[in-house]
Structure 1
Amino acid sequence: MDARLLVEHIPSLRRYARALTGNAWAADDLVQDTLERACGKWRLWVVGSDLRAWLFTVMHNIFASQVRRTPPHAVVPLEDAAQEIQGLADTGRDHGTGLDLQRCLMQLPEEQRAVLLLVTLEDLSYAEVAKVLGVPVGTVMSRLSRARVRLQELMDGAAAPARPGLRRLK
């Protein structure tokens, strides 16, 4: 295995992990777990196929496993994430918008947030996202649509945080 192949993908893996977790420490741990798993399972990657998509698949599977194993009350409080983001932000920038976006992203259901981030932040095609997440392309499209609508509602302040199992009627 040539480590240079992995190294060029670390920035995008870190960016996606940070957006998924909302926490710099958890994101770095997720990237490290992803790289360790990729190195251990290197023989499963098909030479000539999209290494970036394969790495995102590995990361998504690790993250999904972590979410399933983590008790619901062990989620990082939004205030902690906001303080961490504020501490990392440039002092001359408007903190409100960035914090609002991060807070709103973290309120999206995990499956919607993953699709939204892979399409918009990582610029993957719908087919690539479907492969990474192991879902049909139509599911990617509907999750993306719902994520965009919900994010806009949250950013506009027009909706209270969604409660699991309840759907808004229009």
Structure 2
Amino acid sequence: MSTKTDEQLLLAWRAGDRKAGGVLFERHYPRVAMFFQNKVSEPDDLIQRTFLECVKAADRFRIDASFRAYLLGIAVNVLRNHYRRLNGPRNHAPLPDASVEDLGQTPSQVLAGREEERLLLAALRRLPVELQMVLELYYWERMKTHELAEVLGWPLGTVRDRLGRARRKLEELLAALSTSSAALESATMRLDEWVERLRERILAPDREDDE
């Protein structure tokens, strides 16, 4: 296991050290995969594109900045560009009102076992994409509002407003989609627990491959 920091690995990769790039990829692949899993049906190309853009833009990375925020900011832009292409050449703006479901995208290998997990995944996919992103980054990455602002390219006030709106909209969608009051209560009351289970499901295939 490399003891080099992300910043050292990025600079080495930028200088031509492919081994450093491989270490960086392995270290951060799970978080980038988790970002794309519930938003596109085939995330592999977008994951690869994110890491390629990461090294191409390395000169713009600030040493005093968070590499996680830098990498996920690139992932956000890759996803936005992907959706713009899906939405047609006439629309060059972000897609604040379109959901993953609206865009005809299905989740890839995210498998929800329990009813409340399936309910939450379905509700997230019905959120406008921008609201889905801020909510998932908040829960999955436990990002603070200033980190979300950096990753998403929004002012702090916009982050707070959209995060609150995303939570309210998610609760409305959960209520509309739920056929069981018990599942609804479980989904809304134990979101942190659900996030941990979902993270484990995403990481499980990688652990099995290593055995």
Q: Matches of 1:38 and 1:75 in 2, distance apart?
A: 27
CA RMSD of aligned residues (A): 2.4
Q: Matches of 2:103 and 2:45 in 1, distance apart?
A: 16
Classify 1:6/1:46 alpha carbon distance in 2 versus 1 (closer, same or farther; 3 Å): farther
How far is 1:125 from its partner?
1.0
Q: Which runs of 5+ in 2 are unaligned?
A: 1-11, 13-19, 89-101, 179-211
How far is 1:48 from its partner?
3.4
CA contact (8 A) 1:16 1:122 kept: no
Classify 1:158/1:28 alpha carbon distance in 2 versus 1 (closer, same or farther; 3 Å): closer
Specify which of 126, 137, 156 is matched with residue 118 of structure 1. Answer: 137
Q: How many residues align?
A: 146
Letter in 2 for 1:36: L
Classify 1:43/1:81 alpha carbon distance in 2 versus 1 (closer, same or farther; 3 Å): closer
Map 1:15-164 onto structure 2 (within 5 A): 15-19=34-38, 21-23=39-41, 25=42, 27-71=43-87, 75-76=104-105, 81=107, 85=110, 88-89=111-112, 93-94=113-114, 96-157=115-176
Identity of aligned residues (%): 29
Structure with larger Rg: 2
CA contact (8 A) 1:22 1:102 kept: no
Moved over 4 A (4+): none
1:104-142 deviations in Å (ceiling 9; x for gaps)? 101101111111011111111110110111111111111
Provide the TM-score with structure 1 as the length reference.
Answer: 0.76
CA contact (8 A) 2:37 2:107 kept: no
Provide the TM-score with structure 2 as the length reference.
Answer: 0.62
CA contact (8 A) 1:38 1:55 kept: yes
Q: Matches of 2:171 and 2:40 in 1, distance apart?
A: 19
